Chains A and B, each alone.
Chain A
Amino acid sequence: MEAISLYATPVLIIIILVSGVIAKLPLYELFVEGAMEGLEMCVKILPYVLGMLVAIAIFRSSGALEALSVILMPICKLFNIPTEVLPLALMRPLSGSGALGITADIIATEGPDSHAGLLASIMQGSTDTTMYILAVYFGAVGIKKYLYAPTVGLTADMVSFISAAIICNIFFA
């Protein structure tokens, strides 16, 4: 599994480039075009990241986080989840940029290879912003009755988080 993780990036880059060559595409022009969109995305997410970083800083240094963590402590203990990761689990289904801010913060303060850093990385990658997706997609076609969609989406997020914690314990023991 370690090897798969290691070779995934270079192999994917080669496959993409070869597919472009086969299709006889102007590789460099397309790359620049796509990269420009990435740059626009960076500028767009800056205000969200800034807002979230400040909000998290307040939440953390005020002691509010400790208060909430005490309530959820038994669950964390059960799955060996570091308390720093709790805000991420709470934020992930609600706001993509918010969760990204928390993940960035955990990686910066706890270190990317610490238990909290690894678990945050896995959690960030393994689910998506459930409530946002439901709101955008249902909203776009005018659906007002979501029926059981939020229940399924949020329960699945919770299952993903807990399996992320268990897998993290197994992989990086």
Chain B
Amino acid sequence: MAAGIIFAAISGEVDALNNAIFAAAEDAPMLIIELCGMICLWTGLMKIAERSGLVNLIGKALSPIIRRLFPDIPKGHPAFSAIIMNVAANFLGIGNAATPFGLKAMEQLQSLNPDKSRATPSMITFLVLNTSCITLMPTLVISMRVSAESASPAAIVGPTIIASTIGLCFALIFDRLMRAFYYRR
């Protein structure tokens, strides 16, 4: 921010800068008000999905894949269920629900960790899964496009899923390569 102001002072466009600052400050609450309805609609629906067991069901479907991704965790360890619930919540685009499960999973993984200040391979795989997780429904982006009167607000869903799938596959492969490289010694 400061760098921008200094840059503007040098290039002598302070007048345009002032207008831009006031316009942007005015836009922010308007933007939130426009978004608010769609955000509330989805958080409301997701609450139902959480309680009805739909999130759990998706978790069960994902469980065989998850087990393969974390060979270091002993069978039947409670870390698995927390990881599965976290991934299921991410998959449905409910970040608020994903975070509590994620933190629980980290605690469980930490209990298996011999050096408490150092990340374990399973922790890194888990976080990589979180940072590049596939979202089935980018609800927030769609609501923004609706309020901007897009001709086809949901047209980006397909491309978004493809792009995030490519990112996720790359992340998991790269994670395995880095792990092999790191623990070669």
Contacts and interface: CB of A to CB of B under 8 A. Distances in A.
Interface string B93-127: 00010010011001101100000111100011001
A135 B158 CA distance: 30
B65 interface: no
A159 B173 CA distance: 12
B182 A148 contact: yes
A79 B163 CA distance: 14
B48 A125 contact: no
Nearest to B117: A144
B166 A147 contact: no
User: Would you call the interface of chain A mostly helix, strand, loop, or mixed?
Assistant: helix
Contact of B28 (A6, A50, A67, A123): A50
A155 B172 CA distance: 11
A173 interface: no
A124 to B, nearest CB: 5
Please classify how large the interface on chain A is, using the bins under 10, 10 to 19, 20 to 34, 35 or more. 35 or more
Contact of B142 (A9, A31, A42, A134): A9
B53 A23 contact: yes
Contact of A2 (B149, B158, B160): B158
B130 A133 contact: yes
Interface in A61-78: 61-64, 67
A149 B127 contact: yes
Nearest to A49: B28
A5 B154 contact: yes
B21 A34 contact: no
Contact of B163 (A16, A35, A126): A126
B32 interface: yes
Contact of B96 (A37, A58, A118, A126): A37
A160 B158 contact: no
B184 to A, nearest CB: 13
Given A62-B7, A63-B13, A143-B119, A25 B52 contact: yes
Nearest to A124: B141
A17 B110 contact: no
Given A31-B44, A160-B167, A122 B159 contact: yes
Interface in A95-134: 100, 103-104, 107-108, 111-113, 117-118, 121-130, 133-134
Interface in B149-167: 149-160, 162-164, 166-167
Contact of A147 (B16, B124, B138, B145): B124
Interface of B: 1, 3-5, 7-8, 11, 13, 16-17, 19-21, 23-25, 27-29, 31-32, 35-36, 39-49, 51-54, 57, 96, 99, 102-103, 106-107, 109-110, 116-119, 123-124, 127-128, 130-133, 135-138, 140-142, 144-145, 148-160, 162-164, 166-168, 170-171, 174-175, 178-179, 182
Given A20-B48, A41-B43, 17 more contacts: A1-B158, A5-B156, A31-B48, A34-B40, A34-B46, A39-B39, A58-B4, A112-B145, A112-B149, A124-B141, A126-B138, A149-B119, A153-B132, A155-B170, A156-B170, A159-B170, A163-B162
Interface of A: 1-2, 4-6, 8-9, 12-13, 15-17, 19-20, 22-23, 25, 27, 30-39, 41-42, 45-46, 49-50, 53-64, 67, 100, 103-104, 107-108, 111-113, 117-118, 121-130, 133-134, 136-138, 140-149, 151-153, 155-157, 159-160, 163-164, 167-168, 171-172
